[in-house]
Copies of this chain bind each other. A is one copy, B any other.
Amino acid sequence: MGITKTQIFTEKQNDLAQFFKVLGHPARVAILQYISSQNACICNDLVDEIGLAQATISQHLKELKSIGLLTGEVEGKSMCYCINVERWSEIQSQLNQFFNTTKSKCC
Protein backbone atom coordinates (compact mmCIF):
# COMPACT_ATOMS: atom_id res chain seq x y z
CA MET A 1 0.00 0.00 0.00
CA GLY A 2 2.32 2.76 1.17
CA ILE A 3 -0.51 4.39 3.06
CA THR A 4 -0.43 4.30 6.86
CA LYS A 5 -3.57 3.44 8.81
CA THR A 6 -3.41 6.41 11.13
CA GLN A 7 -7.09 6.01 12.14
CA ILE A 8 -6.36 2.98 14.27
CA PHE A 9 -3.78 4.76 16.41
CA THR A 10 -4.06 7.53 18.96
CA GLU A 11 -3.22 11.09 18.09
CA LYS A 12 -0.25 10.92 20.42
CA GLN A 13 1.08 7.84 18.71
CA ASN A 14 0.67 9.44 15.32
CA ASP A 15 2.31 12.67 16.40
CA LEU A 16 5.21 10.90 18.00
CA ALA A 17 5.72 8.76 14.93
CA GLN A 18 5.56 11.86 12.76
CA PHE A 19 8.38 13.53 14.70
CA PHE A 20 10.49 10.42 14.39
CA LYS A 21 9.67 10.13 10.73
CA VAL A 22 10.70 13.67 9.87
CA LEU A 23 13.99 13.17 11.66
CA GLY A 24 14.41 9.83 9.92
CA HIS A 25 16.42 11.01 6.95
CA PRO A 26 20.16 11.69 7.01
CA ALA A 27 19.79 14.86 4.94
CA ARG A 28 17.46 16.32 7.53
CA VAL A 29 19.77 15.29 10.36
CA ALA A 30 22.65 16.91 8.48
CA ILE A 31 20.68 20.08 7.79
CA LEU A 32 19.88 20.52 11.47
CA GLN A 33 23.48 19.87 12.46
CA TYR A 34 24.78 22.33 9.92
CA ILE A 35 22.40 25.10 10.86
CA SER A 36 23.33 24.62 14.49
CA SER A 37 27.06 24.72 13.71
CA GLN A 38 26.84 28.21 12.23
CA ASN A 39 26.78 31.34 14.29
CA ALA A 40 24.53 32.99 11.77
CA CYS A 41 21.48 31.45 10.16
CA ILE A 42 22.36 29.68 7.01
CA CYS A 43 20.19 29.29 3.99
CA ASN A 44 21.38 27.83 0.77
CA ASP A 45 24.92 27.20 1.73
CA LEU A 46 23.16 23.96 2.50
CA VAL A 47 23.11 23.14 -1.17
CA ASP A 48 26.91 23.41 -1.32
CA GLU A 49 27.48 21.89 2.08
CA ILE A 50 25.25 18.87 1.61
CA GLY A 51 25.50 17.35 -1.84
CA LEU A 52 21.88 17.54 -2.91
CA ALA A 53 20.10 19.64 -5.50
CA GLN A 54 18.49 22.89 -4.47
CA ALA A 55 15.00 21.56 -5.06
CA THR A 56 15.72 18.58 -2.85
CA ILE A 57 17.10 20.69 -0.01
CA SER A 58 14.09 22.94 -0.24
CA GLN A 59 11.82 19.94 0.09
CA HIS A 60 13.63 18.68 3.19
CA LEU A 61 13.48 22.14 4.76
CA LYS A 62 9.75 22.13 4.17
CA GLU A 63 9.35 18.91 6.11
CA LEU A 64 11.40 20.20 8.99
CA LYS A 65 9.20 23.28 9.02
CA SER A 66 6.07 21.10 8.98
CA ILE A 67 6.71 19.92 12.53
CA GLY A 68 7.81 23.37 13.62
CA LEU A 69 11.48 22.51 14.09
CA LEU A 70 12.62 25.23 11.72
CA THR A 71 11.46 28.75 11.13
CA GLY A 72 12.27 30.59 7.93
CA GLU A 73 12.46 34.33 7.64
CA VAL A 74 12.97 36.32 4.47
CA GLU A 75 16.30 38.11 4.56
CA GLY A 76 16.53 40.20 1.42
CA LYS A 77 16.51 37.76 -1.42
CA SER A 78 17.67 34.91 0.77
CA MET A 79 16.00 32.90 3.45
CA CYS A 80 17.18 32.68 7.00
CA TYR A 81 16.42 29.31 8.46
CA CYS A 82 16.67 28.84 12.19
CA ILE A 83 16.03 26.11 14.65
CA ASN A 84 13.01 26.87 16.79
CA VAL A 85 14.60 26.24 20.15
CA GLU A 86 11.36 26.08 22.08
CA ARG A 87 9.88 23.51 19.75
CA TRP A 88 13.16 21.68 19.74
CA SER A 89 13.06 21.20 23.50
CA GLU A 90 9.40 20.36 23.41
CA ILE A 91 9.94 17.55 20.94
CA GLN A 92 13.02 16.31 22.77
CA SER A 93 11.02 16.08 25.95
CA GLN A 94 8.19 14.21 24.24
CA LEU A 95 10.61 11.69 22.80
CA ASN A 96 12.21 11.24 26.19
CA GLN A 97 8.84 10.74 27.78
CA PHE A 98 8.20 7.98 25.29
CA PHE A 99 11.53 6.36 26.05
CA ASN A 100 11.11 6.64 29.78
CA THR A 101 7.57 5.34 29.99
CA THR A 102 8.15 2.50 27.58
CA LYS A 103 10.13 0.01 29.56
CA SER A 104 10.10 -3.71 29.49
CA LYS A 105 9.57 -5.78 32.59
CA CYS A 106 9.97 -9.14 30.95
CA CYS A 107 12.84 -11.47 30.02
Residues of A within 8 A of B (CB): 4-6, 8-9, 13-14, 16-30, 32-33, 35-36, 38-41, 50-52, 71, 73, 80, 82-83, 85, 88, 92, 95-96, 98-99, 101-107
B21 touches A104 (CB 8 A): no
Number of copies: 2
A106 surroundings in chain B (CB, below 8 A): 35, 38-41, 80, 82
Cβ–Cβ contact B24 & A9, under 8 A: no
Residues of B within 8 A of A33 (CB): 13, 102
Q: Which residues of B contact A4 (CB under 8 A)?
A: 25-27
Residues of B contacting A35 in the complex (Cβ-Cβ under 8 angstroms): 104, 106
